[in-house]
Structure 1
Amino acid sequence: MVTEKNNKGNQISRRSFLTGTATAAAGFMIVPRHVLGGKGYTAPSDKLRVAGIGVGGKGESDIAEFAKGPADITVLCDVHDSRAANSVKRFPKAKFYKDYREMLDKEHKNIDAVSVSTPDHSHAIQAMAAMQLGKHVYVQKPLTHDIYEARMLTEAAKKYKVVTQMGNQGASGDGVRQLMEWYNAGLIGDVKEVYCWTNRPVWPQGIPWPTTPAPVPSDLDWDLWLGTAPKKDYVNKLVPFNWRGWWDYGTGALGDMGCHIVEPPFRVLDLGYPESAEASVGSVYVDEFKQGYFPDSCPPSSHCILNFKGKKGKPDVKLHWMDGGIQPARPEELGPNERMGDGGNGAIFIGTKGKMMCGTYGISPTLLPTTRNKEVNVKQTIARVPEGHYVQWVNAAIAGYGKKEVSSPFEIAGPLTETLLMGNLAIRSYDVRKPKANGNGFDYPGRYIKLLWDGPNMKITNFDDANQFVKRTYREGWKLGS
């Protein structure tokens, strides 16, 4: 079981992992499942019976990781037959469905947990449906497409008392724990500014929606894939990867990579909801007099600034997010041939007494200048997760709600996701009442002001048009929860 402590007796409040309790004691009796029963309960003597929704690509590797622990993959669900083929072959005894609603209706008594690895716009409805049946859930990052959805899933996890985990594997890595130990030991002082960056997107963005539809792949159920999203014709190469660059389905580079790169500073600094956000974005050349800003598509690059109020006497924190190849200035303490972050991605903490950096997932934690790493020896105070992110969740689900700790439960993953999506509000803040006269998209006045955010109430207080993106309208026939 993972436990967390701070040097000098300090507490990491909300960032602490769920408090663990003893589950094995003298005279402990294993009771069969059919005797104990109960919503969301898994008998300690059994393997976790997992259903996978979205079992191609990342979903394929997710369920393969669960199977390395005490888990049986008993049900598979995917709207795209060829994408699911490898998982079907690997788990031949698992029943297969196309529609997750039919799968849950027919198999809910035969499963204990559900893994969701579908496009962003489907995460919330699938996870909520599983939680309402008392099923433990593992959901790929970002947790949801919308801020409202993230808040609802966070509250539902507590309400339905299920074990949850978001698929940001670095949350269980040694790197973020090393960074926390350095920060708690005061090696870099108080952090006032953080820079996070990625070389993504590596898919098309900043382009208009294609005017020519393409044939739907013969083995893809396009209507089920669309789910909550508006009804549109299929376009070439949208599935399985390029949907990430379209706001109807994805959350851009910030949603895709932020859960891996922003997570270390979010946890180390115990950040809460941001108080404000501002953004600038790259555009695409259209012609001599036009810049390409297209409301359907995420921009090709962006720079977001999220401002956080300091806690417990700590200073306020300004967090920069950069994507599309934009990078911060190299720290003076970093040698000219030393790699910044992991190359294309990373995070740099600017403290009052020093600096530290890491790569994606919090890997390669490094004090700056790098010579400090040979001199500093801070005692390990935070237990590691030797079983890894996936098996940690499996073990916790078998133990039951509140019995074992997980690294990225929705109580942490939800606010982290909300923070990232807050950045997207600034990126997307066009004025719906004022489309440009030349038809070239909309005006984006929200990009030229600081958006003030009321986190508890999920509302921009000084530019109401931005609030249209806090909670989207689902396509008719779809809803969040029963």
Structure 2
Amino acid sequence: MGEINKNQDATSRRNFLKTTAIAASAFMIVPRHVLGGPGFLAPSDRLIVAGIGAGGKGFSDIKAFADSGKADIGFLCDVHDSRAANSVKAYPKAKYYRDYREMFDKEAKNFDAVSISTPDHSHAIQAIAAMQLGKHVYVQKPLTHDIYEARALTAAAEKYKVVTQMGNQGASNDGPRLMREWYDAGLIGDVHTVYAWTDRPVWPQGIPWSANKAAVPSDLDWDLWLGTAPYKEYVDKLVPFNWRGWWDYGTGALGDMGCHLLEAPFSVLDLKYATEVQASVGSVYVDEFKRGYFPDSCPPSSHVTLKFPKTKKTKGDIVVHWMDGGIQPERPEELAANESFGDGGNGTLFIGTKGKMMANTYGSNPRLLPLSRNENIKVKQKFERVAGGEKGHYAQWVEACIAGHGKKEVSSPFSIAGPLTESLLMANLAIRGTDIQGPKNDKGKFTYPGRNIKLLWDNANMRITNFDDVNQFVKREYRKGWTLGV
């Protein structure tokens, strides 16, 4: 079904390696130190990766694994053939499928690990299925679409003893490690407030669902693309990118950039689960006098405030502000008028009792404020750096998979990525709650986003205790025929 390489046999892992390493096959019986020195890898030391989502970000992920020098791309899967074309061309020996379930059924014994780079609403069901087969998994950010799914993946990673990594590559940057060293050395005192901001969305949000139906492209399996989401007729320009702005498939600006910008606060301050959240969102005007209400679409901008309980790294509660859609916090007084705030459109700011520090996207380019403080910093390195930084995020996972569960550290295992993702999705509960509370018109329908209330979170039971209407978004109902299987 959906195979591009129709004449390619379903080879065993041994035969696959033989065909992909034909130039080296004559030397396999020679000891590695004789052949290629420390860098030579025997066939048993290579990771066979199956990629689900082979276009766009999926293509760059797959390439990064291959570029590690220790992984072979054995299988490709995508519901949209033209999007996968570059990967199919780049890895002609990789067998191609449209349905990941068919690939798992037929080829499970022939690969070791799975890379998942699909829309948010498909992450959990694909990752769980892979882990249940004992496969290591790399999942693009955000880890999941729903809080329940994130908790399930965190538990499954431990249950099945597989190596996991979320695709927030900034977690492997030097920046977050350097900021941890600065913070642990007391350079900014005790942090009590963090701001993170982004210029996303750069796709449409706060709009009505298109009424203009379009023909499904002949090379796209629309039903498989929808997967767990409710069935809707195909509309133009949703695929391959603009799905991010729709709640059925994406998680908005928070899902796209939150795991990048908030990873550093989580690692520096040892944050885990938030206890409360509140949000305000930007309105959309449909004409000169009327504000629109489009609950299927994420808002054009938002400001969310999350509270985290004190950790071993702080003396009290920590308040984290998230801002998107171009909203930014007030510039620190220590920052000169023409000095860049973050990287301009994105950034993270830590406010402590003795000073401040900030960073760009991915936690890169960290600096103390005022910038003159960075001239003579003398802090001992405590944390080992990841070779290659952001690019090394991929090789780190490959090497950990080859070593086996628990043998090598990864930067964003699900034990860390799960709680981080949950906090972002909890922020989205508050954003969606503003829709539910909006004022109604004379026909009983909401007209625009409503008031900002504080939502209180019961972490053990995964529910908001003071506003039950938003709990429907903690665990969404899958379309008939789809189940998470846990």
- What TM-score results when the alignment is normalised by the length of structure 2? 0.88
Matched, 1:459 2:460: no
Q: Distance in 2 between matches of 1:460 and 1:263?
A: 24
SS in 1 for 2:83: helix
* Contact persistence 1:293–1:299 (CA under 8 A): no
Distance 2:362 2:333 in 1: 24
Which of 422, 427, 431 does residue 436 from structure 2 map onto?
A: 431
Amino acid of the structure 1 residue aligned with 2:119: P
Letter in 1 for 2:342: G
Deviations 1:26-60 (A, max 9, x none): xxxxxxxxxxxxxxxxx993310000000100000
How much does 1:101 deviate? 0.3
RMSD: 1.7
Query: Counterpart of 1:66?
Result: 65
Shift of 1:212: 1.6
Asked if residue 368 in structure 1 is aligned to residue 372 in structure 2, the reply is no
The secondary structure found in structure 1 opposite 2:371 is: coil
State the partner residue of 1:401.
405
- Which residue in 2 is equivalent to 1:219? 219
Correspondence 1:154-169 to 2 at 5 A = 154-169=154-169
2:316 maps to a residue whose letter is P
1:390 and 2:394 are equivalent in the alignment: yes
CA, structure 1 residues 354+165, in 2 after alignment: closer, same or farther (shift >3 Å)? Answer: same
Return the alpha-carbon distance in structure 2 between the equivalents of residues 353 and 433 of structure 1. Answer: 41
CA separation of 1:437 and 1:414: change in aligned 2, threshold 3 A: farther
Asked whether the equivalents of residues 295 and 441 of structure 1 are also in contact (C-alpha less than 8 Å), the reply is no
For 1:2-13, list aligned pairs within 5 A: none
> 2:281·2:449 contact (CA, 8 Å) conserved in 1?
no
Tell me the residue number matched to 2:382.
Answer: 381
User: Could you tell me which amino acid in structure 2 is paired with residue 47 of structure 1?
Assistant: R
Decide whether the 8 Å contact of 1:44 with 1:399 is kept in 2.
no
Given candidates 453, 468, 475, the residue that maps to 1:471 is: 475
Name the structure 1 match of 2:346.
345
For residue 137 of structure 2, give the secondary structure of its aligned residue in structure 1: strand
Contact 1:59 1:116 in 2 (8 A): yes
User: Could you tell me which residue of structure 2 aligns to residue 290 of structure 1?
Assistant: 290
Which residue in 2 is equivalent to 1:328?
329
Counterparts of 1:439 and 1:207, CA distance in 2: 20
- Change beyond 3 A, Cα 1:44–1:404: farther
Residue 276 of structure 1: aligned partner: 276
Q: Hey, what does 2:26 align to over in structure 1?
A: none
- The aligned residue for residue 35 of structure 1 is none
Query: Counterpart amino acid of 2:337?
Result: P
Code of the aligned partner of 2:353: T
1:114 and 1:136 in contact (8 A); partners too: yes
Where does structure 1 lack aligned partners over 5 or more consecutive residues? 1-42
Contact 2:438 2:448 in 1 (8 A): no
The answer (yes or no) to whether the contact 2:116–2:139 under 8 Å persists in 1 is yes
1:281 positional shift = 0.2
1:27 corresponds in structure 2 to none
Shift of 1:435: 6.3
Mapped to 2, the partners of 1:423 and 1:216 lie a distance apart of 34
Shift of 1:412: 0.2
Counterpart in the other structure of 1:130 = 130
With 43-52 and 116-125 compared, the bigger mean Cα shift is at 43-52
Q: Deviations over 1:341-384 (max 9, x none)?
A: 01100000000000000011001101000000002121111100
Please state how far the C-alpha of 1:97 moved relative to its aligned partner. Answer: 0.1
Residue 307 of structure 1: SS of its match in structure 2?
A: strand
- Equivalences for 1:70-81 in 2 at 5 Å? 70-81=70-81
Matching residue of 1:411 = 415
Structure 2 match to 1:33:
none
Q: In the aligned structure 2, how far is the partner of 1:464 from the partner of 1:442?
A: 21
- Aligned residue for 1:50? 49
The equivalent of 1:105 in structure 2 is 105
Distance in 1 between residues matched to 2:199 and 2:439, nearest whole Å: 33
Q: Following the alignment from structure 2 to structure 1, what is the Cα–Cα distance between the partners of residues 442 and 243? A: 29
Q: Structure 2: how far apart are the matches of 1:280 and 1:270?
A: 26
Q: CA deviation at 1:431?
A: 3.4
Query: Match for residue 31 of structure 1?
Result: none
The alignment partner of 1:67 has SS state of: helix
Aligned AA (2:231): K
- Tell me how far 1:288 sits from its aligned partner: 4.3
Rounded Cα–Cα distance in structure 2 between residues aligned with 1:94 and 1:478:
27
Q: 1:139 to 1:437 in 2, by over 3 A?
A: farther
Partner of 1:252: 252
User: 1:436, CA displacement in angstroms?
Assistant: 4.7
Matched, 1:236 2:236: yes
SS of the equivalent of 1:385 reads coil
Number of aligned positions between the proteins: 440
Question: Deviation digits for residues 195-241 of structure 1, max 9, x if unmatched?
Answer: 00000000000001111211212211000000000000111100000
Q: Is the 8 A contact 1:340 1:346 kept in 2?
A: yes
Residue 433 of structure 1: CA displacement? 11
1:438 Cα shift?
Answer: 4.5
Shift of 1:456: 2.1
- 1:432 to 1:319, Cα distance in 2 relative to 1, 3 A: closer
Structure 1 residues 64 and 166, CA, compared in 2 at 3 Å: closer, same or farther?
same
The 2-side partners of 1:356 and 1:213 are apart by 49
Aligned to 2:454, which of 444, 450, 457? 450
Residue by residue over 1:382-422, the C-alpha shift from the partner in whole angstroms, topping out at 9 and shown as x without a partner, is 10000510000000001111111000000000000000000
Task: Give secondary structure in 1 for the equivalent of 2:130.
Answer: helix
- Is 223-232 or 447-456 further displaced after alignment? 447-456
Contact 1:431 1:443 in 2 (8 A): no
- CA-CA distance at 1:289 after TM superposition: 4.1
Is the 1:52–1:75 contact (alpha carbons within 8 Å) kept by the matching residues of 2? yes
- Return closer, same or farther for 1:331/1:76 CA change in 2, 3 Å cut-off: same
**After superposition, what is the alpha-carbon deviation per residue over 1:64-109, rounded to whole angstroms, capped at 9, x for unaligned?**
0001220010000000001000000000000000000000000100
| SS of residue in 2 equivalent to 1:398 | helix
Query: SS of 2:436's equivalent?
Result: coil
Q: 3-state SS of the aligned residue for 1:330?
A: coil
Q: Give the secondary structure class of the aligned counterpart of 1:60.
A: helix
* CA displacement at 1:290 relative to structure 2: 2.3
Matched residue, 2:485: 481
SS of 2:225's partner is helix
**What secondary structure, in the 3-state scheme, does the structure 2 residue paired with 1:121 have?**
helix
Percent of residue pairs identical:
73
Q: Is the 8 A contact 2:438 2:446 kept in 1?
A: no
Superposed displacement of residue 434, structure 1? 8.8
CA distance in 2: counterparts of 1:228 and 1:440, whole angstroms: 28
Residue identity matched to 2:381:
Q
